[in-house]
Chains A and B, each alone.
Chain A
Amino acid sequence: MTTPHATPRATTEGTVYTVTGGDWDEVVETAAKSDDERIIVNMGPQHPSTHGVLRLILEIEGETVTEARCGIGYLHTGIEKNLEFRNWTQGTTFVTRMDYLTSFFNETAYCRAVETLLGIEDDIPDRANIIRVLLMELNRLSSHLVCIATGGMELGATTIMIYGFRDRELILDAYELITGLRMNHAYIRPGGLAQDLPPGAVDHLRELLKTLRKNLPEYDKLATGNPIFKARMQDVGYLDLAGCMALGATGPILRSAGLPHDLRKTDPYCGYETYDFDIPTAETCDAYGRFLIRLEEMRQSLRIVEQCLDRLEPGPVMVGDKKIAWPAQLALGPDGLGNSLDHIKNIMGTSMEALIHHFKLVTEGFRVPPGQAYAAVESPKGELGVHVVSDGGTRPYRVHFRDPSFTNLQSMAAMCEGGQVADVIVAVASIDPVMGGVDR
């Protein structure tokens, strides 16, 4: 390979290429000729107020942003490609790591797509669906809390940051109790859940609800009427309904433009049509409206969690089809979480067939009939869609995530251009992008 920018040179170690930027002189010359006030600022990829490794390229004139572009891909981990080399159940372990703040939404969306392909979406036990909804709504709370907390921090409001992370921590404790992990749960599986709620979980959650109900109004008191907060947020990051539709923005951004579009209402899944909750909207199209919507959505999520807890009835959490359902029941032993002793006793001591069945299902996984399916859930950030293609094998042929952060981040330019540099931070924070989801 020879290019003007990489001259080869033979050494004893082999050929060495010296890579140089070819046209720098030209670039510098043009830059020198242009207006003095025109500066291009690289914000990120390592910058605390760009939410992870997001790189913002801003062309500014004085304090005004004339052009804004995003550089993404710094956190690309090839999850979609990797999924094609694991079985369908192992997939949840990967997708939970995409948008790491909305793990349960990724898992549910993926599992619903797989269940559609299997044709078992109506056979998911009620208890599994209720727990899915419960976890998703807790997840909505924890995700919005991070958004509000980090968004506040970026404005210099450190108290709201401390409060947000304090409350999120309580929710993470509940996750830990239920799934064993604070993040990256892989708890929701095709066909149901990895295991049932542990004893004491419902009481713990009721206590948690009480605490959150006490804590949530504090955000209102701290920020909603705060004149500095309002001055920084109002009319910043403006994107009206036409802009949202064209750019495909969903979630709080779309609802801040006044359209009450929420997949939980318009295209219900997991039994959302049976829950009682409201979709908050705002007419302001700005960052402040999105903040208010997130606050209200958290209150609505608490309502849904409460209804879930009231509905929980004992029952299975996995489909009845033994060709799909994970054979092992997990239990906590002295050496950590693993297959329950009863199950081990059964497969090792009693039933040879059960052992074969367990072995086949765990090593090979189940087969999914060929075809494709699309499943979408309303994640805290918007429409999270999963396109899954199967070729009839035990592994996905192709999985594509339409991550809302990825799509919504496109609207950054429309929100920021013509505004102040300081407002870029507010606008990006109001989009609430998580780079794990953007880059996947």
Chain B
Amino acid sequence: MSDEQRSGSSPDDQHDQPADEAGSSVPSARGQAAEVIGVRKGMFGTDSGGGDTSGYGGLIRTVSLPGAASRPYGGRDGVFDEIADELEGALEEQGLLPADAIEKTVVDRGEITFHIAREHLVQVARTLRDDPALRFELCTGVSGVHFLGDKGRELHAVYHLRSLTHGRLIRLEVSAPDSDPHVPSLVEVYPTNDWHERETYDFFGLIFDGHPALTRIMMPDDWQGFPQRKDYPLGGIAVEYKGAQIPSPDQRRSYS
């Protein structure tokens, strides 16, 4: 991480949201306000009731991810600005307003993330792949993330694109609500995403529209539910060890 980014996440850059004062582990956000993805109550993973005798039961903390960055984005030798300029320019050439396609840009820990409106994802990806100044030829697949608390955009699909020509790495992120879990498929742009999208569908129930054969890949075909969603239990049974009952991992105390 360069000095520039380090100073970007230093405490004096903290913005003054009341939520941040309550939580000690809330990050600093660059530029605008951080994105709140959830509220945590109590401690030790208990619902402020049974078992928690610590007095911390009433604790309320917000969880927020790093927010949108403002120019300049930085990166090594200002490479993030270069990528953003090229992408915006190329989109404009195609008659697409960059502000419509790119919801926000986050720069955090030396990595740049473009949040893309899902209806424009394919066009943006194609531009990133084909534009000679961008040339992100390699997609390393898609990773789903389920933010239960991020109302209206619970399901996120995260793509990492690597440019072998220019030696760069960026991240695209699209989101869809739980009620309408549809994201356009990138298989026609990056055929490698075939299995990756099947995997994300299998585990998160994200439906990739336009995928040639969106079926389960890891779980049995007749499996009910999507196992890696946050509201899907881990399962497991308590085991007895030397006379004591050891609860299953998802029933144990958590300290987050």
Chain A interface residues (CB < 8 Å from chain B): 72-73, 76, 78, 80-82, 84-87, 116-117, 119, 121-122, 245-250, 259, 261, 266-267, 363-365, 367, 369-374, 376, 383, 385, 387, 389, 391-395, 397-398, 400, 402, 406-407, 409-410, 439-440
B88: Cβ under 8 A from any A Cβ: no
Other than the given A73-B216, A84-B234, A376-B140, 6 more pairs (CB < 8 A) read: A266-B164, A371-B27, A373-B111, A387-B160, A389-B145, A393-B255
Chain B residues with Cβ below 8 Å from A86 are 249
Shortest B109–chain A CB gap in Å is 5
**Could you tell me if A267 and B145 are in contact, using CB atoms closer than 8 angstroms?**
no
Q: How far is the CB of A432 from chain B (nearest CB, A)?
A: 17
Q: Name the residue of chain A whose CB is nearest to the CB of B248.
A: A85
| B 50-71 contacts with A by CB, 8 A | 63-66
Nearest-neighbor residue (CB-CB) of A406 within chain B: B195
Distance A406 CA – B192 CA, assembled complex (angstroms): 10
Chain B contacts for A82, CB-based, 8 A = 234, 249
Complex interface: chain A residues within 8 A of B162 (CB): 383
B162-188: CB near A (< 8 Å → 1, else 0) gives 101001010100000000000000000
| A121, A245, A250 pick with most chain B CB within 10 angstroms | A245
User: Which residues does chain A contribute within 8 Å of B63, judged by CB atoms?
Assistant: 370, 391-392
Write the nearest CB–CB distance from B104 to chain A, whole angstroms.
Answer: 14
Interchain CB contact under 8 A, A407 and B164: no
Q: How far apart sit A249 and B192, CA to CA, in the bound complex (Å)?
A: 8
B208-256, CB < 8 A from A = 216-220, 227-228, 234, 249-250, 252, 254-256
In the bound assembly, the distance between CA atoms of A84 and B249 in angstroms comes to 10
Assign chain B's interface to a size class.
35 or more
Cβ-defined partner of B140 (8 Å) among A122, A248, A392? A248
Query: Could you list 27 examples of A-B contacts with CB < 8 Å?
Result: A81-B234, A84-B234, A85-B252, A85-B254, A116-B1, A116-B110, A119-B6, A119-B109, A122-B1, A248-B140, A248-B191, A266-B167, A367-B25, A367-B256, A369-B27, A370-B64, A371-B66, A372-B111, A372-B145, A376-B169, A385-B160, A387-B158, A391-B37, A398-B145, A402-B140, A407-B140, A439-B218
Give the residue name and chain of the A residue nearest to B170 (CB): A374
A407 to B137, CA, bound (A): 15
Q: How far is the CA of A432 from the CA of B203 in the complex (A)?
A: 25
What separation, in Å, do the CA atoms of A31 and B125 have in the docked complex? 42
Q: 1/0 per position for B23-40, CB-CB distance to A under 8 A?
A: 101110000000001100
Q: At the interface, yes or no: B194 with Cβ under 8 Å from chain A?
A: yes
Contact of B141 among A119, A364, A393, A407 (CB under 8 A): A407
Q: What is the distance, in angstroms, from A406's C-beta to the closest C-beta of chain B?
A: 7
Q: Chain B's nearest CB lies how many Å from the CB of A240?
A: 14
Q: Which residues of B contact A440 (CB under 8 A)?
A: 218
Contacts A73-B219, A82-B234, A121-B1; is A371 near B108 (CB within 8 Å)? yes
B169 & A394 in contact (Cβ 8 Å cutoff): no
Q: Which 5 A-B pairs have the closest CB atoms?
A: A393-B256, A248-B192, A400-B143, A364-B255, A73-B218
How many Å lie between the Cα of A78 and that of B223 in the bound state? 14
CB of A234 to closest CB in B, whole Å: 26
Which A residues lie within 8 Å of B144 (CB)?
A: 400
In this assembly, does B15 line the interface, its C-beta being within 8 Å of a C-beta of chain A? no
What separation, in Å, do the CA atoms of A163 and B199 have in the docked complex? 37
A266: chain B residues within 8 A (beta carbon): 164, 167
Residues of A within 8 A of B195 (CB): 406-407, 409-410
Q: Which residues of A contact B254 (CB under 8 A)?
A: 85, 393-395
Collect the chain A residues with CB atoms within 8 Å of residue B138's CB.
245, 248, 250, 383
**CA gap between A365 and B192 in the complex, in Å:** 37
Q: Given that A81-B227, A392-B256 are contacting pairs, would A383 and B25 also be in contact in the complex, using a CB cutoff of 8 Å?
A: no
B9 within 8 A of A: yes
Q: Kindly list chain B residues whose C-beta atoms are within 8 Å of the C-beta of A73.
A: 216-220
For residue B250, which residues in chain A have a CB less than 8 angstroms away from its CB?
85
Indicate if the CB atoms of B192 and A387 lie closer than 8 Å: no
Collect the chain A residues with CB atoms within 8 Å of residue B23's CB: 392
Q: Return chain A residues, CB-CB under 8 Å to B126.
A: none
- A374 B111 Cβ-Cβ under 8 A: yes
